[in-house]
Structure 1
């Protein structure tokens, strides 16, 4: 949509879904309670329905993860579009979502979308839009994490994230830990829990010192010189997500979208900086890759298997190339067999092709 309100609406929706938050809680998010930590966004709430005292608990953050494989529903990309379009939001310690009453703003947008797609919702999902509301976001997210996947996060972590009471006894003995919330956050982002892709890193800038300096100069364009390192970290992550998905945005955004008027779109950095935005997996990680968190054991095993398959796929080519190089060196020195070397090289290439076919069958 080209309506500026939809930039806000998409960021609010994806963040509320990922957080499993009540809309009034999402509306209370403040800039000073948002930061980037490693491979995810962390948010602290000063007050929820279950904690009315208004004291920020720095030991119990909500973790929000990128989904670089599905940019349309990625909360980090949605937040990036919102903050890069309205960078003034980060210049201070005010609310993350501005404009009067964010709840009323979002409800109007939400209802407008429901009415626009009423026929499709009824035919495809057999639902009446009168039964849907902002509460459906939180219920949908929790249901997806509990029973929409076959390897669900711990139910305690889901309940704590959704701020649901566990009862006096369980609340006394079953406490918050980051690992459970991280797993829940990855699941809520829509990453496939039955694939090694669940361990995908967020988009980040991979490169030498020159690239990193270019990134920092780009960050400077969106923040004040007095901005904290936490704000700079959030903007850096937003710019990485924006850069990685620049083609997707260019293909899908309407020509009149306010995102296209943002500084990020109008004045992009050097192409080498844009191209430095990458997504990696554990077996391709470098020293610059954010350490993956929220990864369950079965995904770690899938990653190990994927790394082995990749190594096996590369090995035949390396062997053929190495032998071919030795044969060329031998021929150049006058000790080669000429036609014999050629036959051996062709036999190796044929064997390589057969191995690659079998590996592709294993991967599929």
Structure 2
């Protein structure tokens, strides 16, 4: 290769192209464990070194070097004015640097760190809050941390003999720990330490980590999140649904990129993981995990939840390399975990009624445990090898090689995890899709652009977005039952104007595997056999009914011919009976209608303060004069959602564009009480205002300030007028310029106000600088 063709990142050495900045040995050492694992090991090493510092040993058995002793002394107490949090961060940073350089500057005297000393330290560990013994995994974490410390000192870790000695101690430690009585430390004469008067609640010792979640609670959590009516809850619902369907760790879900998603099959979306905890090198990144839609249960239908998330949570244009859940993996998992705990606390009584001892036993890892438990408990379900492949567990070196391409088994696993009923024909259902022979491609492209404005341009995402759109239209009746101020009903174009989805409803199709030529994957043969048996049963039942009807007809004809039973049932008699029955029914319906009208009049009399306006017809779309609905609320979502509601009417809920609404028209909101959902979502705000709403005129003013700022900035980029046709492009231009993200519009407003104040004070600052 000539020097002119050498890439910028490479050099030419001895006629060969080599990397300009190859990986260093220190980077290789640091890459032995991940960043998060090293951070966890560092915590354990700090505890071990501090424990060694207080052990009484003679001079010939010193455990720590002088460097370690000085570090322990310097880091023991916080500096003047230093908070506990900053002190812990400083100490950890010091030790992390020392551990990385331990081969050159040792912290411990390696030959004195004997297996007995290590096990003595491990056995002394206790929970800092309860004072009880730690869990098995916590003790194993301490052992792993010390092994890593030795690896950092000698570059190879403990010897095989060292590990064997530790292993022997570990067996005895584990057996004695499991038989040890918390209330009676002395062993009984039989050596088992069994105490008959031990009445302490030890349920926490029976579980290792978080408890597996049941399908009942999984369904309930997603239902509660959808009812919560916030964009954060839609993000959490999508995250939890994907984690369950993938049976993966939450960290893997948080690291998904848009480029990891594909839909090349007719009925399944595939996801690739770049690397996992058990595959840190990415050797199995080509393995695809199949996800299937459950068209019968919208709460757990991943295409429906993914569509709601993509349509409501993004304000700026995305690219294929961007993450599905923006932010770091740690921040995303913490965000979802907080929302999960918030929902569980609101429904704690219902969770306890399902059999759980405490909501603290439930976390994001409960999803992975629950999914694997569910798969393993299905009679006639997926094979153990397919389950292991789905969960990323090794089946041994030999079996991993021979069972590597178990794609058909993973398809069956995917259908099971979507919670399609394995004993029903519904298990062979296709996802909702638009029939190619019926759908108008121009309508579909336009609708995808309106519903998913931040994603429609990404290559490879088109089919995913089309399936999500089809699922959302398929479940439109379910969305209509959301509260009026739900982000899905306020922000998504097809639910703001149902006329947009009319053509989609006509082109929407779903079918079973045996009713189509399209290949439906992951369906075992016994499902069709069950359907055939059910059909035979129905036919037998209908045959019996027809025989019964013919026999009874013959008997009736015989009785009528012979005049048996008296009282002839003539045509006039039948008409008389029908007339009498309809009269009573008509009277009952009239009474009920009168009662409902009286209640409606009473309701309007109790709510006299409501705004009245007329929406001017634009582009031929007339909007009739209307009142703000009684259940109207200000937008609570992100800036894009506010911008859409500011510029376009919600024809489905009869709400005009908010820019045409006067401030006085919102006044009726001041008289309304907060709903239970609002109080739960803003308990801190409620406490600050003593349960009162913020004045509507203030909120209306805030919306006007923010939207007028966006309009003014858009004009600088050539958008003279804002309409439904160009409002999305105008917003994207301004958002890119000022870095608007997924935050709530109230947060964006604060940033805009700071910017406006800075612009206002800029001339004075410049004048002062010139003067100086």
Per-residue Cα deviation, 1:294-313 (whole angstroms, up to 9, x for no partner): 01121132345567789x69
Answer yes or no: is 1:299 the counterpart of 2:527. yes
**1:122/1:225 CA distance change after superposition, 3 Å:** closer
Count of aligned pairs between the two proteins: 316
Could you tell which deviates more after superposition, 41-50 or 199-208?
A: 199-208
Q: Which residue of 1 aligns with 2:157?
A: none
2:394 alignment counterpart:
165
User: Is 1:36 aligned with 2:281?
Assistant: no
**Mapped contact 1:205–1:212 kept (Cα < 8 A):** no
Q: Note the alpha carbon deviations across 1:45-83, whole angstroms, 9 max, x for none.
A: 11111211246733x111111111111111221111111
Identify which of 25, 29, 51 aligns with 2:279: 51
Return closer, same or farther for 1:55/1:247 CA change in 2, 3 Å cut-off: same
CA distance in 1, matches of 2:267, 2:316: 23
| 1:200 match | 429
**1: CA distance, partners of 2:316 / 2:263:** 16
Q: Which of residues 276, 280, 294 in structure 1 aligns to 2:511?
A: 280
Corresponding residue for 1:271? Answer: 502
- Residue deviations 1:161-206 (CA, integer Å, cap 9, x gap): 1111222232233223211111000000100111111001111112
Q: Which whole-Å CA distance do the structure 2 matches of 1:140 and 1:188 have between them?
A: 10
Q: 1:33 touches 1:44 (CA, 8 Å); kept in 2?
A: yes
Please name the residue that 1:116 is paired with. 346
The correspondence for 2:413, drawn from 178, 184, 188, is 184
Deviation at 1:219, TM superposition (A): 2.2
Query: Is this contact kept in 2: 1:204–1:240, CA < 8 A?
Result: yes
Q: Which runs of 5+ in 2 are unaligned?
A: 1-227, 554-772
Q: Sort the Cα spacing of 1:6 and 1:225 in 2 relative to 1 into closer, same or farther, 3 A.
A: closer
Deviations 1:61-107 (A, max 9, x none): 11111111111111221111111224667731200012452111111
Could you tell me how far 1:213 is from its partner in structure 2?
Answer: 4.1
Please state whether the residue corresponding to 2:421 is helix, strand or coil: coil
Q: Does 1:128 align with 2:358?
A: yes
CA pair 203-21 structure 1, distance change in 2 beyond 3 A: same
Aligned counterparts, 1:281-360, within 5 A: 281-285=512-516, 290-305=518-533
Q: Quick one: distance in 2 between partners of 1:69 and 1:81?
A: 17
The root-mean-square deviation of aligned C-alpha atoms, in Å, is: 3.0
Moved more, 31-40 or 13-22: 31-40
Write out the 4+ residue segments of structure 1 that deviate beyond 4 Å after TM superposition. Answer: 87-90, 223-226, 303-310
Conserved in 2, the CA contact under 8 Å of 1:157 and 1:176?
Answer: no
Give the Å deviation of 1:131.
1.6
Quote how far apart the aligned CAs of 1:214 are: 2.5
Q: Compare relative contact order (CA 8 Å, sep 6+) and give the higher one, 1 or 2.
A: 1
Q: Indicate yes or no: 2:299 matched with 1:69.
A: no
Q: Structure 1, residues 238-284: CA drift from partner, whole Å, max 9, x if none?
A: 00100100001111x22222122122322452512123223211233
In the other structure, the counterpart of 2:337 is: 107
Q: Distance in 1 between matches of 2:285 and 2:370?
A: 26
Cα pair 1:79 1:238 within 8 Å, conserved: yes
Whichever of the two has the greater Rg, that structure is: 2
Q: Which residue of 1 aligns with 2:240?
A: 13
Q: Give, in angstroms, the shift of residue 217 of structure 1.
A: 3.0
1:160 offset after TM fit, Å? 0.9
Unmatched 5+ stretches in structure 1: 317-346, 355-364
- Spell out, residue by residue over 1:313-344, the C-alpha distance to the aligned partner (whole angstroms, 9 max, x if none): 9x99xxxxxxxxxxxxxxxxxxxxxxxxxxxx
The residue matched to 1:230 in structure 2 has which SS?
A: coil
Q: TM-score, normalised by structure 2?
A: 0.38
